[in-house]
Amino acid sequence: MIKYSEYEQEAINVALSAIQQTLTSSDVMDSPKEVQNYLTLKLAAEPDEWFGVMFLTNKHRLISFERLFRGTVNASHVHIRVIARKALEFNAAAVILAHNHPSGIAEPSSADQSITTNIKEALQIFDVRVLDHFIVSPGESCSLAERGWL
């Protein structure tokens, strides 16, 4: 895991704050690179694994990003019912799943693929589309959609 100096962490916090201030409900999340950059800033430097969800409108406008599950250094327990409840609460038409790998390796595990499939199937019942699942770390990231796994 990359350790940031106090100065570097402050620079990251300032950049993240600036990005968050520019993102409003009118911003469309249609570029995988834009989403990847946003999620990297939100999750990559965390020492523990976090699983979060971007809730989007039908036109992929960001409603909210929520960190829903905190794990340990190498795993977090994801509860599909919590994701479904939040999606309905936000009246989201689509979601982008995300979590970090504190190890610095953004390669998806078989468990990552499995939970993505399970969430996608569960949310289909509510007409909520899973657009992607990003795995981020300080040095790299991975999009399951870009790999054709969604």
Least confident of 1-10, 71-80, 88-97: 1-10
CATH number attached to the domain at 6-143: 3.40.140.10
Structure tokens at 65: 């990003």
Average pLDDT, the chain: 86
Q: How many Cα neighbours within 13 Å face the side chain of 66? A: 17
pTM over 0.85: no
